[in-house]
Amino acid sequence: MRLVRRSRLLLAPVVLVTAGACFATRADLRIVQGDVLAVRDSVRAARLAAERRDSLARVATDSALARVVAALVTVGDSVVSIRGATQRMDGALREDLHTIRQQLITIQELTGQSQRRIQELRADLESDAADRASTPVVPSAAADTTRGTTTVGAAGGAGTPTGPGPAQLYQLGQDQLRRGSNTAARGAFTTLLTQHPQSDLAPDALYGIAETFTAEGNGVRADSVYNLVATRYPQSERAPIALYKRATAYRLVGQAERAQSLYRQIVETYPNSESARLAQGFLTSRRP
């Protein structure tokens, strides 16, 4: 009870002040109301101005965005178009490259075939030349007998009979090798090398000798002759094949490291050869 009484004593001054305020005049109230209205109007005006500014800005922003979007769409279309064109060009290029590659391979193959034909033709020509050279001199039908002399016919040759040419010898060696007459084949190849050491068929003849040893199962001699092919004629097409043959022989007898070394040599020295592609398979364990 004592607490309630003390609270009442404390609230008394507050009540008195509040009651005093109620005694302000009406004029004072009007002034305050006017001020409030003025403030309200100014706030409304400011808000309208701000809204107007925002609207203008939004319009400007929307317009800019629309322009950006349009530009992006245009760029996108261009990108799509360019990508399509690029793809088409890429496809066309790939096709062209593929066609060129195929044509190159075909040319290579046909060149190989042509070389084979040319080689046969050379052998035939050499054979014909040898035949002509060994044909005995025959007096012409139009021999001038008035002076007791004879005129040699045009077909007659004045030279002494010559031996077989390199193409003939190579063809002979190949035929004998195919027939399994390894000694005879080796004889033909050896004759080619001794009588025509500068012939373009010399690397092939040396390779042929190695093949005869392989056919006889004489791996040691074959290996040494294959090695000769690669060292004596390193620019020859036979060189990478000879190295590949050596590598294969070492692989088959279990000398894997020597084989790998030779496979690496083929890949590094003759990267574009068929032997290099085969050798690569042994280096990378290409096994599907």
Partner 1 sequence: MPLRPFALSFASVALVASLGAQEPAPGVRIGLTYAPGTRPGLYVLPLRGAGADSVRAIVARDLDHGDRIAVIAPDGGVIPSGPLNYALYQRLGAAAVLQMTMPGDGSLQVALHELASSTVRNSQRFVLPQPALGPAWRLAVHRVADEVERWVTGQQGVAASRVLFVRGGTLWQVDADGENAMPVPGVGAALGPAWHPNGTVIAWTELGDGGSRILMRDLTSGRTSVMSGRAAANLSPAFAPDGSQLAYAAGSDGTDILVRPLDGEAGSFAITAGQGSTNAQPSFSPDGRRVAFTTSRLGRNEIYISDSDGANPELLTTSGFGDQLYRSDPSWSPDGRAVAFSTQIEGRFQVATIALRDRSVKQHTSEGINEDPSWAPDARHLVLTSNRGGSRQLWVLDTESGRMRQLTRGPVARMAAWGPRLPAAR
* DSSP code per residue over 220-244: HHHHHHHHHHHHH-TTSTHHHHHHH
Give φ, ψ of 152 to 5 degrees. Answer: -75, 130
Q: Is 275 in the site for partner 1 (CB under 8 A)?
A: yes
Q: Which residues contact 238 (CB under 8 A, 6 or more apart)?
A: 203, 204, 206, 207, 229
Q: Is 286 in the site for partner 1 (CB under 8 A)?
A: yes
- For the bound state, the minimum distance from the C-beta of residue 221 to partner 1, rounded and expressed in Å, comes to 17
Give, as ranges, the residues between 207 and 226 that touch partner 1 (CB under 8 A): 215
Looking at beta carbons only, is 97 or 138 nearer to partner 1? 97
Q: Is 274 in the site for partner 1 (CB under 8 A)?
A: yes
Q: Is 131 in the site for partner 1 (CB under 8 A)?
A: no
Question: How many other C-beta atoms are found inside a 10 Å radius of the C-beta of residue 213?
Answer: 19
Q: Is 47 in the site for partner 1 (CB under 8 A)?
A: no
Q: Is 248 in the site for partner 1 (CB under 8 A)?
A: yes
**In which element (H, E) is residue 72 found?**
helix 26-134
- For the bound state, the minimum distance from the C-beta of residue 58 to partner 1, rounded and expressed in Å, comes to 58
Looking at beta carbons only, is 169 or 266 nearer to partner 1? 266
- Judge whether 224 and 209 are in contact, CB under 8 Å: no
Q: Is 112 in the site for partner 1 (CB under 8 A)?
A: yes
Q: How many angstroms separate the CA atoms of 34 and 40, rounded? A: 10
Q: Is 6 in the site for partner 1 (CB under 8 A)?
A: no
- For the bound state, the minimum distance from the C-beta of residue 147 to partner 1, rounded and expressed in Å, comes to 52
Segment lying near partner 1 (by CB under 8 A), choices 39-47, 72-80, 87-95, 276-284: 276-284
Segment lying near partner 1 (by CB under 8 A), choices 51-59, 135-143, 188-196, 273-281: 273-281
118's tokens: 């040319």
**Torsion sign (Cα): 262, 263, 265, 271:** positive
Give, as ranges, the residues between 168 and 187 that touch partner 1 (CB under 8 A): 178
- For the bound state, the minimum distance from the C-beta of residue 175 to partner 1, rounded and expressed in Å, comes to 8
- Judge whether 222 and 200 are in contact, CB under 8 Å: no
Q: Which residues contact 180 (CB under 8 A, 6 or more apart)?
A: 215
Q: Is 109 in the site for partner 1 (CB under 8 A)?
A: yes
- For the bound state, the minimum distance from the C-beta of residue 286 to partner 1, rounded and expressed in Å, comes to 6
DSSP 153: P
Q: Is 110 in the site for partner 1 (CB under 8 A)?
A: yes
Q: How many angstroms separate the CA atoms of 251 and 47, rounded? A: 94
Q: Could you list the residues that contact partner 1 (CB under 8 A)?
A: 102, 105-106, 109-110, 112-113, 178, 215, 241, 244-245, 248, 251, 274-275, 277-278, 280-282, 286-288
